[in-house]
Amino acid sequence: MGSSMWVGLSGAIARLREIDVVSNNLANGDTVGFKRERVAFSSALQSAVSDLGVGPASGAPGRAFAVEAPGGIDPTTGALAQTGEPLDVAIDGDGWFEIQTPAGARYTRAGAFAIASDGTLTTQAGDPVMGAGGPIALGDGPATVLTTGDVLDRHGASVGRLRVVTFPEQNALEPAGGNLYVPRPDAAPPVEVADPKVAPGSLERSNVQPVAELASLVLLQRAFEVSVRSIQSDDQSTQRLIEEMSG
């Protein structure tokens, strides 16, 4: 396989990865608190790849291959929609709710919470929502959330404050499924927001812009077709060369 075919193949793989990401963004256009995912690519010089990353010598060939790089998620805040439900909470500004799952701490902007049978504040999936001192126990009655993140039980007594955290790096989180996010392995630890601002009775909508994503999808499909045609052209040229040499 010629090097030009490898270039075309790496481009086709990159376009397929982007198509997957954009398609997932579109599918979650109505998902509460969803953050559109971004994908980025860097180039690897052919000489650097063959030399195991030593680096190209002066005058080395300039062919390059697409290599996926961390793209992260778009942190833009989605529109806040009022629901009037007492356990619907949206973060008004930067920050993430911390959720305790069997796999460890996860983070989300989806504040559609519920009360478990044991009185613990949870996500819709049943994972405990973390407060400043651990899971929030509400007892057997309704609850009220204040704009400060404080949670009151049915008697108006404070039972905890929602733990809202931020991360020093912009691309610290990556999708973990179920509208939850997990820190990248090299990310710095989260920092708790001392004075969180939340919007009770509201939910944050997805920050996906469907029209923009659809336009990107069309362009990516065309770019993929170009990469495939490049591969086919290289394959045909190789076939002709073999036929001429064996003739």
| Confidence band for 14, pLDDT divided at 50, 70 and 90 | confident
DSSP characters over 160-199: EEB-EEE-SSTT-EEEEETTEEEE-TTPPPPEE-SS--EE
Q: What is the pLDDT of residue 3?
A: 58
Rounded-to-10 torsion of CA 94, 163, 127, 107: 30
Q: Quick check: 52 pLDDT over 90? A: no
Q: Where in the chain are the domains?
A: 3-74+208-246, 80-204
Q: Quick check: 99 pLDDT over 60? A: yes
Give the bridge partners for 97, in sequence order. 108, 164
The 3-class secondary structure across 72-114, one letter per residue, is CECCCCCCEEECCCCCEEEECCCCEEEEEECCEEEEECCCECE
Q: What is the pTM of this model?
A: 0.76
pLDDT tens string 53-94: 545 444 444 555 455 455 588 988 999 999 999 999 999 989
Do 47 and 59 contact (CB within 8 A), yes or no?
no
Q: What is the pLDDT of residue 222?
A: 87
Q: What is the pLDDT of residue 5?
A: 66
